[in-house]
Chain A
């Protein structure tokens, strides 16, 4: 018998505009010792489905309308809150996307680990601490004895996620629900966490529900895959069936959205638009401390019309390079020649004019748009500022931009919160293009988006790049994405360029150990190759 068996689950939300069915008659099983992946875009109901099982949804507005969920023979949906509390954290544990917001910053990780053990198992504090140390070792924390009394901010994102996993496992749960546990992490860290989850699950013979928007993430670890679209279960099958013989068009769309292949590099010889010589950007860390060398003696060129990919983990300085070129952070030394002019020396009017020629597209389309400005105001601002349109013609300019980035004109008066992530990123792209720039820095423009949306935005950027004749610096931690869009790729490690070349040469013949490591971290490599 299955460990968890969900039948005909339906969850509705009551909203201002009436009832919305978020999960529509879903049935699936989770077996002990197997990983069941639930895949879908945001809004597909994949998280709602799992949260409703544990009574974690606020009711109202949510309500479970129908269905059963038998866990070891008992129906979770029929349990009282008190009974559920017994099961949550003890028999069923969860790990979440953002480990920082799930850990209490004012408690050491040791205290947080021991708490559920003392609460659920009534063991002594000393015994609980022993157990916690053992588990921290098991999830791969170096030197648990030294780190158990540290606070969450002293750990990196990957380490925090390991702590979260230890916390989830401390009560020996039979079922682990992982909600996008690697989405906020770098590729290399993601690979480690995925391997850890798979290993722990095998060793302990527990069932795992792994929620993700990205099929490639689960390509190496999932036994069963459930694909959801708009609250419906559209396809279910084992891993091989989904990856090799997917039948539903939506599953195929998800598979197609996984970026693959290298862009064929252009053979044309063009002049250099941007030349970066010995760029250093250091951040002071207070008196008497060594400055943080975010960018350390980096030199490269970008040809006119070229897309240069910049790849590295968080902390490698890749975003800082982009911001240095645009004068958004002060440069410590070195020069950035834009069409022959040293950008780092510009001030006042000259700087303002230069800003018109180079623009930025940011990572988080939720933070990069002013929440109190409508699409119209957001797009009209740069047009008017640089005198590209007059007060009389600005309206046409705004509508033209909306057409270019594929936003319906009827949305012109709407505010950012009324749009989805992909639409917001289109607005942000429109704003960047408004000044008719020659050069655009795109800082992880698709990493906050669902895979299918990611593919659309990448397509849009390539298309607009051609249309506007843009030169682009494309910053990303995701090698597969960069390979898809960039003519040439720079690999960055700790503020230095370690390797550069075309996508094909890097992928086929990586010279450096670090590049090789990055390549091996790409999830689902074996299946997708």
Chain B
């Protein structure tokens, strides 16, 4: 082949990056795509809930009470006669927001913190990780209660509080990854090319540490959603009439013998989300590993 032909090949694929390659590989993974579409669907529904929901979120019918699924109320009603589908849709807004925002907070802080500590090493590492240890040792409940007492009850604060706790493990995972990666010769090669430490971390270390980080992230989102339910249950999170999946599940669990649908449907919504997340997470991990299935 001639030189020109080759440069054409190159130009056609110009701009292929790790992420574009990953997307190409992800598209071939049906399970992961299914997960992605389910999540997107849920997010869209959550965004459009005020217009899509069959009833107002605070509409009650105390005379009717709890009824099983029917034509008027597809998923039934709760003991206050509120439409369960509406409740789940509004609850999804809170749950998904908490799950994604708190995890994103944890991801950004944790990855940065861990990467810096692991790469710089020495005294900086020791100080940074001791701080993580101290936060670990702090009882989580006391921490949250303190925050609530000082700043008052506030949804945004809830996101931050959960994120501020979840990043600790993320930082430790990232630090371990970076510590073993920085011993590798390609990092030394990057140093001798004259790259700055920030660039080395960003371009050479973080992409190589993504596998375990992504897996842990997909595990964090559901655990954050459950944490929110726990806090709400204690009266520290969202309060009625606002609701979340976690809250719906915990109420449903109380009455599951008489009104099983109150547990089944919110539980199904959460479970489906978790499945979708896990499929997507595994798919992403494989897609980001260039050594994975050959193209």
Q: Do A and B bind each other?
A: yes
Q: Does B10 count as interface, using CB distance less than 8 angstroms? A: yes
With a cutoff of 8 Å between Cβ atoms, the chain B residues found around residue A409 in the complex are 3, 6-7, 9-10
Closest B residue by C-beta to A412? B10
User: Which residues of B are interface residues toward A (Cβ below 8 A)?
Assistant: 1, 3, 6-7, 9-11, 13-14, 16-18, 184-186, 188-195, 203-204, 207-208, 288, 290-291, 293-294
Minimum Cβ distance to chain A for residue B45 (Å): 35
Find out whether the CB atom of A385 lies under 8 angstroms from the CB atom of B184.
no
How long is the Cα–Cα vector from A369 to B190 in the complex, in angstroms?
Answer: 9
- Overall SS of chain B's interface: helix
* Cβ–Cβ < 8 Å partners of B195 in chain A: 381, 385
Does A431 make an interface contact (CB < 8 A)? yes
Q: Which residue on chain A has the smallest CB distance to residue B288?
A: A372
Top 6 nearest A-B pairs (CB, nearest first) are: A355-B194, A368-B185, A409-B6, A352-B194, A415-B290, A367-B185
Residues 343-367 of A contacting B (Cβ, < 8 Å)? 351-353, 355-356, 358-360, 362-364, 367
Which of A364, A395, A418, A431 is B14 in contact with, Cβ under 8 Å? A395
Residues of chain A contacted by B207 (CB below 8 angstroms): 370, 372
11 contacts between A and B (CB under 8 A): A363-B185, A370-B203, A370-B207, A374-B290, A381-B190, A409-B3, A410-B1, A412-B10, A413-B16, A415-B291, A428-B189
Q: Are B16 and A395 in contact (CB under 8 A)?
A: no
Please tell me if the beta carbons of A385 and B189 are within 8 angstroms of each other in the complex.
Answer: no
Enumerate chain B residues within 8 angstroms of A16, measured Cβ to Cβ. Answer: 293-294
Residues of A483-503 whose CB lies within 8 A of B = none
Q: Which of B9, B17, B186, B291 contacts A410 (CB 8 A)?
A: B9
CB distance from A379 to the nearest CB of B (A): 11
Closest Cβ–Cβ distance, residue B179 to chain A (whole Å): 15
The yes or no answer to A399 lying at the interface (CB within 8 A) is: yes
Query: 8 Å CB contacts to B: which residues of A392-429?
Result: 395-396, 399, 409-410, 412-413, 415, 417-418, 428
Contact A362:B188 (CB < 8 A) given known A395-B10, A399-B10: yes
Contacts of A410 in B (CB 8 A): 1, 6, 9
Contact A370–B10 (Cβ < 8 Å): no
Most buried by B among A369, A372, A386: A372
- Are A417 and B189 neighbours in the complex by a CB distance under 8 Å? no
In the complex, the answer to whether B11 meets A395 with C-beta atoms within 8 Å is yes
- Beta-carbon contact of A381 and B290 below 8 Å: no
Given contacts A395-B11, A399-B6, A410-B6, contact A431 B193 (CB under 8 A): yes
Contact A369 B290 (CB under 8 A): no
| A326 interface hit (Cβ, 8 Å) | yes
Q: Which of A359, A369, A371, A377 contacts B192 (CB 8 A)?
A: A359
Chain B neighbourhood of A251, CB < 8 A? none
Which of B3, B185, B294 has its CB near the most chain A CB atoms (within 10 A)? B185
Contact partner of B13 among A352, A356, A358, A413, CB < 8 A?
A413
B7 touches A395 (CB 8 A): yes
Beta-carbon nearest neighbor of B18 in chain A: A372
A382 in the interface (beta carbon within 8 A): yes
> Does A328 lie within 8 Å of B188, measured CB to CB?
yes
B189 touches A431 (CB 8 A): yes
